[in-house]
Structure 1
Amino acid sequence: METERPTSQAAVDEVERNRISPASLGIVCRDLIECISPDTGISPGMQNTPERMARAWFELTSGYDQDLAELLTTFDKADDSIDYDEMVVVSPIEFFSLCEHHALPFFGVATVAYIPDKQIIGLSKIARIVNFYARRFQVQERLTSQIAQTLKESLQPVGVGVVLKATHLCMWMRGVRSQSVMTTSKLLGAIKDDPKARGEFLELARQTNLTLR
């Protein structure tokens, strides 16, 4: 006996950890494919595509499932006998995100810097913070600010600088169909106000090219 397939609304109403379950998202993806291609529907070669789509969407939006507090491992300079007050720069940090206007990817590289005061942060945590905010529906301007504000609030540093360079497929694949690169920046504290620190950071960011491996 054939089991009745749940409706899309039932799938949407099913929430797991504040998110729809992978199985239910697969049902939504199947309905989406059938709506887009009503003549052919799910072809033989696409029988498993809805489930693959669901897994891909969960991976692309995994930032919603993470706990930011777990990423913010900081160290007290005094406790660890760290005598360092110069700029710390991490680049290039590759990231992928989803445009919240068209649900198409945008991707690029980040240059992130801070000048420590009393706290420093683990090197890998900076890349994880970038991806925490990138792996969700986003706009590049907000993504840039969120990274900078998180470092400011967690470290209370002397200064913070963030520059993102990204290509947006919603502009490349549709509409104007341009391969332009968008650059956004957020500078805080001394990296914004001190001309020497500002110039040093922006020069380092300028040297970071959008060339993903």
Structure 2
Amino acid sequence: MTPPFDRVRVEAAVRELLLGIGDDPDRPELMRTPSRVADAYTEFFRGIGTDAVAITRQGTVHAEDGDRGQLVIVRDVRFRSVCEHHLLPFIGVAHLAYAPGAELIGLGTLSRVLDAVASRPQLQERLGEQVAESIADGLDAQGVLVVLDAQHQCVTTRGERQSGSTTVTVAARGTLAEPAARSEAIALIAARGSGPGAEHEADA
């Protein structure tokens, strides 16, 4: 069983960190910093121990053959996670696609699955694989594709400081791991409509 979030230990650790960098945790401007960091970490790491497959299963509904369609794509789902190497955030968008089997999943459930897996110390490559696996296992989909495009603060704010760079990763399962189907799905993700309201489709 995953131990519960220990706020007291987090606050004590932040205080030690401030001492370690040579600052004074008792100066007025820093006195509430340990508590503020604990608040942030409560949110950033709330996905530790969460069963993303269970979230997927809870959001599924049976669908008749004529209602399933061949491919479902949700584009531009914003997410944030924390790089486990430096404990710095990486922020980006996810494009989630699946080829339905016997069931469909609520579109909002897809974003909840992503958030659950992202809200823990992560690597982007593993994040995509875990989201794809959670959707594939929980939905019993014929195929799953997860494309992540994110900017990492460990790259943009330290070292060579590549401030404009992003990282793209692709994870696929089932039929969408086949090159032709994967290429078609990625092309649909990249496409943008030209009809009324198309500029707002990411917010729909």
TM-score (norm 2): 0.84
2:47 partner SS: helix
Corresponding position: 1:23 with 2:8: yes
Which residue number in structure 1 is paired with residue 61 of structure 2?
75
Q: In structure 2, how many angstroms separate the alpha carbons of the residues matched to 1:151 and 1:85?
A: 17
Which residue number in structure 1 is paired with residue 21 of structure 2?
36
Which residue number in structure 2 is paired with residue 94 of structure 1?
78
Deviation at 1:65, TM superposition (A): 5.1
* Paired residue total: 191
Deviation at 1:70, TM superposition (A): 3.9
Question: Once the two structures are superposed, what CA deviation does each residue of 1:119-174 show, in whole Å capped at 9, x if it has no partner?
Answer: 11111110011111111111010001111111111122121111000011101111
Contact conserved, 2:25 with 2:31, CA < 8 A, in 1?
no
Contact conserved, 1:72 with 1:125, CA < 8 A, in 2?
no
Contact conserved, 1:91 with 1:111, CA < 8 A, in 2?
yes
Corresponding position: 1:182 with 2:138: no
Which residue number in structure 2 is paired with residue 7 of structure 1?
none
Larger radius of gyration: 1
Corresponding position: 1:119 with 2:93: no
> Kindly tell me: are residues 20 and 123 of structure 1, through their superposed partners in 2, closer, same or farther at Cα, counting changes over 3 Å?
closer
Gaps of 5+ in 2: 193-201
> Kindly tell me: are residues 66 and 187 of structure 1, through their superposed partners in 2, closer, same or farther at Cα, counting changes over 3 Å?
closer
1:125 partner SS: helix
Corresponding position: 1:59 with 2:43: yes
> Kindly tell me: are residues 70 and 149 of structure 1, through their superposed partners in 2, closer, same or farther at Cα, counting changes over 3 Å?
closer
Pairwise CA RMSD: 2.3
1:72 partner SS: helix
Which residue number in structure 2 is paired with residue 8 of structure 1?
none
Among the aligned pairs, what percent are the same residue? Answer: 34
User: Could you say which structure has the greater relative contact order, defined with CA pairs below 8 angstroms and 6 or more residues apart?
Assistant: 2
